Amino acid sequence: MEGTLNLVGFGLAAIGPGIATGLIFAAYINGVARQPEARSVLQPIAFLGFALAEALALFGLVLAFVL
Amino acid sequence: MRVLVRSAEGEGFVPPSTKDFQLPPIFGDNVYTTKPILLVFLSVILISTFFILSARKAAVVPSKFQFAGESVYSFVRENLAKEVIGHEFMRFVPYLFTLFTFILVNNLFGIIPLIQFPTMSHVSFPYVLAFSTYLVFHYVGIRKQGAFKYFKEILFMPGVPKAAYILITPLEILTFFVVRPLTLSLRLFANMFAGHLLLLVFILGGEHLLQGVIGLKLISPFAFGIGIVLTFFEFMVQCLQAYIFTLLAALYIAGALADEH
């Protein structure tokens, strides 16, 4: 086996954003289930939060290749 | 998996890496004719032809073609611009619409057969898009509120106790001038880059397994199968990233237009 330890580090770094994304969509689904007419209000917020949390994982990915 | 393949074969499987994104020039030695650059031109031609054709014979009862063009337009106008920016949204619809269709088509190149290379997996293209968005939202903010007031409100957020400025001002400078354009471009780039790499792993891996002994040949359809499933997943991600880029651009513009940040 060969490879770099960077990728192990990236795997560890991806845990946080993974949990965060799960929490965001859990909250979004909860909100829509309780109040279906709020979907159009919640959707951009949910995707915005998702994009911000996901960006952290992707920085990890970029750094894993760059370093 | 890699160990297995290597022991069966002798020469090892070379996993895809960043080198797979460095494509040689297509016509001779001209560095301006690499695949991503030609794809950008192709995307511009495709988008303009599609929308000119779909809008040329506009009728009250739309044809299927016109309907397709108009639904993309109304998606950007109603769901993105109008809901995020508010009553001044009409000025920004052309920019957001261009941004959305350009990113969408360039992303979709990643899964269209025979092309299969997302332009945005080269970081320079997202940089340019993010930079133009950066110029737009600061310009809009300065025009709307005046340079002094605009920067004052960024640097010294109103309604915050004076002592907290020591912490908040550097963070705000970082957010507005560094983090925003950087995350905007890197998010798009990294998604496309990672997605393309993922597809390469499974498709090249499947191809390599086919060249192995009979046992490995039996595994390779699974690798191709996962590759196909991931292609559909990539389709979703590519549409989502085009949406998110435009949504964030609209949000930044809305933030610059608002009286209080």
pLDDT, greater one: B130 or B21? B130
The string over A14-47, giving b where at least 16 C-beta atoms fall within 10 Å of a residue's C-beta and e elsewhere, is beebeebbeebeeebeebbeeeeeeeeebbbebb
Comparing C-alpha atoms, which of B199, B239, B37 is closest to residue B119?
B37
* A10 occurs within a structural domain: no
Tokens of B73: 């337009």
Nearest 5°: phi and psi at B203? -75, -45
Tokens of B207: 């191809």
Compute the nearest-CA separation of B159 from chain A (Å). Answer: 24
Considering A54-63, B17-26, B129-138, the range whose residues carry the highest mean pLDDT is B129-138
The CA distance from B181 to B249, in Å, is: 10
The pLDDT of residue B134: 94
Residues B231-251 have a mean pLDDT of: 92
- Going from N- to C-terminal start, the domains of chain B cover 2-257
Closest partner CB to A59 (pick from B84, B186, B193): B186
Q: Extract the residue ranges of chain A whose pLDDT is less than 50.
A: none
Distances (CA, A) of A61 to B1, B155, B198: 22, 32, 12
Tokens of A43: 């959707």
Tokens of B113: 């057969």
The number of distinct structural domains making up chain A is 1
The pLDDT of residue B160: 82
For residues B136 and B95, the answer to whether their CB atoms sit within 8 Å is yes
Helix locations, B15-123, DSSP H: 35-56, 64-74, 83-85, 93-108
Q: What is the CATH number of the domain that holds A36?
A: 1.20.20.10
* A49 occurs within a structural domain: yes
Question: Considering chain B, what is the average pLDDT of its residues?
Answer: 86
Interface of B with A (CB under 8 A): 2-3, 18, 83-84, 183, 186-187, 189-191, 193-194, 240, 243-244, 247-248, 251
Range of the domain at A19: 15-66
Give the global pTM.
0.86
For residues B117 and B110, the answer to whether their CB atoms sit within 8 Å is yes
Residue B257: Cβ within 10 Å count: 20
* Of B108-112, B129-133, B173-177, the least confident: B173-177
Contacts of A65 in chain B (CB under 8 A): 18
Q: Is A67 within 8 Å of chain B by CB?
A: no
| Interchain CB distance below 8 Å, B190 and A61 | yes
Distances (CA, A) of B71 to A52, B45, B85: 28, 20, 20
| Interchain CB distance below 8 Å, B186 and A47 | no
- Report chain A's C-alpha Rg in angstroms: 16
Contacts of B3 in chain A (CB under 8 A): 1
ipTM score for this prediction? 0.75
* A8 occurs within a structural domain: no
The pLDDT of residue B7: 44
| Interchain CB distance below 8 Å, A58 and B186 | yes
